[in-house]
Structure 1
């Protein structure tokens, strides 16, 4: 097992980070989130077209890059750190599910960046459901797919990722196996955990930088012991989360037998840790952190929304305990 990024993965990280810093800085994120579409279609087009990231894990026979989940985790960490608005994660989850169940018609469009897709994750709710061209619903032995299901926009906590209520209509069923669908659900957990890792990292970087310039009672706040201890705790959570995400991505690529435990562990730990880091990031900013104009609440909102995107942490903790008992 190798949990350190390879040179190629570091180059991929640098490329995505540089692109997002230029094309989607936080002021642009706010502007896009408040727009009619909720995201910048041009940024999404370049992300999926120029960089080809929508097809990263799509097999090459369908026009994708055929890369591994270690590479996908690197990309999602960066989109999470940038709080990228729009349907990139939703389309990625759909690509994972369609790839695992062997659906071939939609993958070329997803890989090319011309098809936006989403997955119904919580009953009848789907992230970026209004924007999606395709709605995919995982079932025990396959998936339901619709291009015409009606969608109703929902008010959401995360301002940078909209959701919609999906109503049945125009479904077709693709048969698969329980094993394929179960693996896809585990891969969802890995993907979301990678995004959460990025949110954690960006939150910690922001508050560390702030603690070096904010002065209170004649001293930089970073010099106070209470602040130092809190930052150290946040750093430890980030380090543990990174190890868990790297392990889960490695298991997805190299050790499918370990994936269920790794995926359950990722969501049981990383989701809660991400929320706690963003919460403390907001609190350590003091009064300004609670204002609408500050970015701290955007990280906080993304962290809480991601924490329950695949179900509350207690579900994953219960599953992890059951798997370890076996």
Structure 2
């Protein structure tokens, strides 16, 4: 299917063939299993798809505008991919336009909480930055980088929207966590606030923080391979915790934080075969990340872990995504 998509855009196919190929890719990206398989493709196959989607993202009539339906597809294509290097020209153009859009929205729009495009663009920028050193380097070299950091830092005090806060902190963590400004932004009290926010999200407690649905695509389906509407925000939340914990000066705080142990208390009971695949996937991803970073938290996981027969059954899960994640854990 991926090769057919590339051919449709590279061999001079008619527009109807391109539209059909694009619709097929959008449909396939609703499957967790397909997305996981796609992200594991070698760079010579993955990169052309990324370039095509990036080119389509930017409005051909207004190079400072983005097509939101294709920005959502870019989020699926890039988020979690392991072979995104330094951006190619098409991807670089999409990234610079995303940065411009995010900065412009924060400066010009009074209430970004109500702007669906802003939320989508911020989410996608965070996904592009996370785990991709080449993308971080490119964004750091942009002339708008300082303005991006400044406006996002201001945004943290302007919004109560849980999803916007998570993705804004994720972008900031990618760009400045290892700099002096990062130590200021993520000082102990702010890390504690971040943990409380993440806890409220994964515990599905709307009374603590409201999670905007604007950046969660409507992909509800009861099948094992479907992407639940809450998964992007839950995964982004635990990824933020893991990114922060990668810094020793933050990890030492997290190891003794009540919120961190409450997160473990929430995630560990999900390790059973009757749990929904999206929730089980988030739990395994979080627990594996925490266990690999901290001996102290690894001991806490071992002490609270469900019986081995229950938790290890995940390696035999019918979904390859879960089986692989369980094997890593």
- Whether TM exceeds 0.5 here: the answer is no
Going by fraction, where is helix more abundant, 1 or 2?
A: 2
- TM normalised by structure 2 equals 0.31
Q: Which has the higher contact order (CA 8 A, sep 6+)?
A: 1
- TM normalised by structure 1 equals 0.31
